[in-house]
Structure 1
Amino acid sequence: MSIQELLEQLAGDEGVKAVALVGEDGFVIESVSKEGAADLDFVGGAATSAMASSRALADHLKKGEVEEVMVEFDEGPMLLEPIQASGTTYSLVLLLAGAQNLGRVRFQLKKVRARLQEALA
């Protein structure tokens, strides 16, 4: 499957408003969004900064690698997942409509993560 198809699979889950794969430079590589979703170019840059801050905090606290960053908003959470492939760390950004589908979305992420890494290699 292509990166775009994998993102579409994640975006097809109920409650997912947008999905973006973001490079280390903050630029969106591929994305899928539903009507009314945020400006993913801006979100990609901000998400990269949030991931870098989370890594710095993990290093300082000696807590190992960042597995996931979740930011909760009134209108639904945002998940940031680091994806390692070919010596590069990408950020997978998911904007959710609400927290009620969080468990199912995380389950889907586990299934898609390895295929995303293969597609990026």
Structure 2
Amino acid sequence: MIVIDPAAHVPPFEQLRAGLVDAVASGELAAGQRLPTVRKLADDLGLAPGTVARAYRELEASGVIETRGRNGTFVSFHGDPAHQQAQRAAAAFAEQIRALRLDSDEALALVAAALRGGDPATA
């Protein structure tokens, strides 16, 4: 979770930009994950929408996030084409696991079994 310190010497848009970069780097925000709208995030953090918009613009310019028109803003897929395809597959898998309301530990065990070539049903 990103916290903005209004007393900090670092401007709020830069705190937000750095916080989002850190969240992506740590995996807290996964490739393909949808981000809140500018207005929603501004309300959540107590910031002006222009501040959030500036952070989003800078993150998009650096390739960290991407805007897909009316569909929203998402964490970008990074790396070579094979890595990008793997990130998309992981994002689709995570979405399916959430829809099925399965525990993440169980989901990871299923993936581990599948990668070992075993029967995921016995994981």
TM-score (norm 2): 0.27
More strand, by proportion? 1
Structure that is richer in helix per residue: 2
Name which one, 1 or 2, has greater alpha-carbon Rg.
2
Question: Which structure would you say has the larger RCO, counting Cα contacts within 8 Å and 6 or more residues apart?
Answer: 1
